[in-house]
Amino acid sequence: MTTSEPLIVLEAVNKWFGPLHVLDNVSLSVGRGEVVVVIGPSGSGKSTLCRTINRLEPITSGSITFDGQPLPAEGRALAKLRSEVGMVFQSFNLFAHKTILENVTLGPIKVRREKPAAARERGLALLDRVGIANQADKFPAQLSGGQQQRVAIARALAMQPKAMLFDEPTSALDPEMVGEVLDVMTSLAREGMTMVVVTHEMGFARHAANRVVFMADGQLVEDAPPTEFFANPRSERAKDFLSKILTH
Amino acid sequence: MSVLIDKFDVFASGFWLTLQICFLAAIGALILGSVVAVLRISPVPPLRALGTAYVNTFRNLPLTIVMFFAAFGLPALGSNADFLRIPGLDIVFSRLGTDLPYFRFALIALVLYTAAFVCEALRSGVNAVPAGQAEAARSLGLTFIQNLRHVVLPQSWTASVVPLGSVIIAMIKNSALIGFFGVIGDLSQTADQLTSAGGEPFIPVAIGISIGYLIMTVPLGALLDRVERRQAVAR
């Protein structure tokens, strides 16, 4: 799966929120086309880890490289990097004042300077792909949570990113809508998209991930293929965590 | 009360001059206030510090002091604020082009002072937009300015407009100070002219002046109430 150099490399990353050590010497590399699922108890730093990769959270020390380049500081270079890394949020964050189609085309038109007609065409194709082309002219608030999250995925894909970050994409959804979002993510994974997915969906981790990363208290505790991790967790923390979520 | 009718022309010209300076000051304050607001929310720390310093200075000084510095400090620095003698504009707003600079000084003071409040009104609107909106825009690669223009400001406007209106109403009332700093013939200073120099009774004159201010501020307030009601319905 991993070819040549990895796409995302975190080396000895530390992050403090005031006195709180949220990322404790975390090192992780993600190869091209690899799907890494990050799990762990809440407060373990997994969301923060995900958000450092496109520098929505700046880090205190250590280094992060994306596609061979260290993450730039604020400015145009960072904006360009972010345009190459798609991000999907727990709370969707669709632009509330824009229609579904405008949400999907804003990035391509303003950041990539694509012609509006071309961006619209691709936007509609992406909406079709995630199964909501018939809602293109509605506003986000008129859609269900699952539909909104699928739009958010289409919006990120419209930038033709090299990697996708998912920060608990199904945690704010009603249970019956989780499946439709995971289906889209699974098909993305099959197509070879590089993905970092923070989630509590163990089913997705089992069948779509190449690797499972387990975090606790800001530390990266385990990093293993899903079959190995779920069958034979090595650390006590992971055993404890799995026993709590898999018993019912 | 006959003074209201007999001296109607004096009241009217005072009203017109106050309206002129308020119109110009409102435009100036909205522009400068927007610039300061952009500074205050920018991702660059020195720019943020500059914006914050501006607001802290002009929001926390009495307007009288700002007027004082404009009217006495600028001449001491050798400036007559001639940059405000804008060709074309001084046809409608004749005081902009006069040799006596006090109208321009007062205008500068009103703009500087009011811009601090405009900045804060705009910023309160920006803060009302959920942080996730700007984060999503940043994660797409939009620059700070694109983010403001296409995502944040269109959504912050509805939350800003009512506090902005209150700032402008306050500014109209604050403009009553300009008569103390060399500007002759605005609505408030008209009272002085009519009572001290013209010997007119004070209370009727004060009533006339009050009516003049209310004509400017009450419709503005009513307009804001309407905007607010429409927003409430839209929500």
CB contact under 8 A, A96 and B133: yes
What distance in Å separates residue B151's CA from the closest CA in chain A? 7
Residue B136 domain-assigned? Answer: no
Give ipTM to 2 decimals.
Answer: 0.91
| Structural contact between residues B89 and B128, judged by C-beta atoms closer than 8 angstroms | no
| pLDDT tens readout for residues A45-103 | 999 999 999 999 999 999 999 999 999 987 889 999 999 999 999 999 999 999 999 99
Token pair in block for residue A24: 């404790």
- Tell whether B136 is within 8 A of chain A (Cβ): yes
Whether residue B138 is contained in a domain is answered as no
Strand order in the sheet with A61-66: A20-30, A8-17, A61-66, A69-70
d(CA B131, CA B138): 11
Q: How far is CA B154 from the centre of its chain?
A: 22
Residue B79 covered by a domain: yes
Helices marked H in chain A: 46-52, 76-83, 100-110, 116-129, 145-157, 175-190, 202-208, 226-231, 236-246
Terminal CA-CA length for chain A? 33
Is A93–B138 a contact, with Cβ atoms under 8 angstroms apart?
no
**Would B135 be classed as within a structural domain?**
no
Contacts of B182 (CB under 8 A, 6+ apart): B71, B100, B102, B105, B106
Average pLDDT over chain A, rounded to an integer: 93
The answer to the question of residue B137 being in a domain is no
Domain count along chain B: 1
Interchain pair B140, A76: CB under 8 A: no
Pairing of strands A163-167, A20-30: unpaired
Contacts of B150 in chain A (CB under 8 A): 106, 110
- pLDDT at residue B6, as a whole number: 87
- What is the dihedral angle through the alpha carbons of B66, B58, B23, B181, rounded to the nearest 10 degrees? -10
- The pTM for the full model equals 0.83
Cα–Cα distance for residue pair A110/B142, rounded to 1 Å: 7
- CATH code assigned at B108: 1.10.3720.10
**Could you give the dihedral angle defined by the CA atoms of residues B50, B56, B59 and B64, in that order, rounded to the nearest 10 degrees?**
-100
Cα–Cα distance between A211 and A188 in angstroms, integer?
A: 16
Q: Is A212 helix (H, G, I), strand (E, B) or coil?
A: strand
Residue B149 lies in a domain: yes
CA distance B25 to B103: 11
- Most A CBs within 10 A among B48, B133, B139, hence the mutation to make, goes to B139
Query: What's the confidence (pLDDT) of residue B3?
Result: 84
Flag whether residue B142 sits within 8 Å of chain A, measured between CB atoms: yes
Nearest by CB to B139, which of A56, A80, A94? Answer: A56
Residue B48, CA atoms < 13 Å, CB-side half-sphere: 6
Does B173 touch chain A if contact means CB atoms closer than 8 Å?
Answer: no
User: B80 in a domain, yes or no?
Assistant: yes
Once rounded to an integer, what is the mean pLDDT over residues A156-177? 95
Does any domain span residue B133?
Answer: no
Q: How many cross-chain Cβ pairs, A to B, lie less than 8 Å apart?
A: 63
The first and second tokens of residue A93, run together, are 């964050």
- The CA–CA distances, whole Å, from A147 to A119, A127, A170, B235 equal 21, 10, 11, 22
- Rounded Cα distance, A34 and A195, in Å: 6
Q: Are strands A211-216 and A35-39 parallel, antiparallel or unpaired?
A: parallel
* B123's tokens: 């910023």
Query: B119 and B33 in contact (C-beta within 8 Å)?
Result: yes
Question: How many angstroms separate the CA atoms of B117 and B91, rounded?
Answer: 30
> Is residue A224 classed as helix, strand or coil in its secondary structure?
strand
CA–CA min distance A178, chain B (Å): 21
Listed in sequence order, the residues at least 6 apart from B45 whose beta carbon sits closer than 8 Å to its beta carbon are none
Distance CA A229, CA A223 (A): 8
Q: Is there a contact between B140 and A107 if contact means CB atoms under 8 Å apart?
A: yes
Q: CB distance B136–A56 less than 8 Å?
A: no
> How does pLDDT run across B52-79, given as a tens digit for each residue?
999 999 999 999 999 999 999 999 998 8
3-class SS of residue B183: coil
d(CA B54, CA B114): 11
Q: Does B3 touch chain A (CB under 8 A)?
A: no
| Domain extent at residue B214 | 2-127+144-234
Chain B environment of A157 (Cβ under 8 Å) = none
Residue A58 neighbours by CB under 8 Å, 6+ apart: A52
Q: Which residues of chain B have pLDDT under 70?
A: 232-235
Residue of A157 and A1 predicted with greater confidence: A157
Contact at 8 Å (CB) between A153 and A88? Answer: yes
pLDDT in tens, A3-62: 578 999 999 999 999 999 999 999 999 999 999 999 999 889 999 999 999 999 999 999
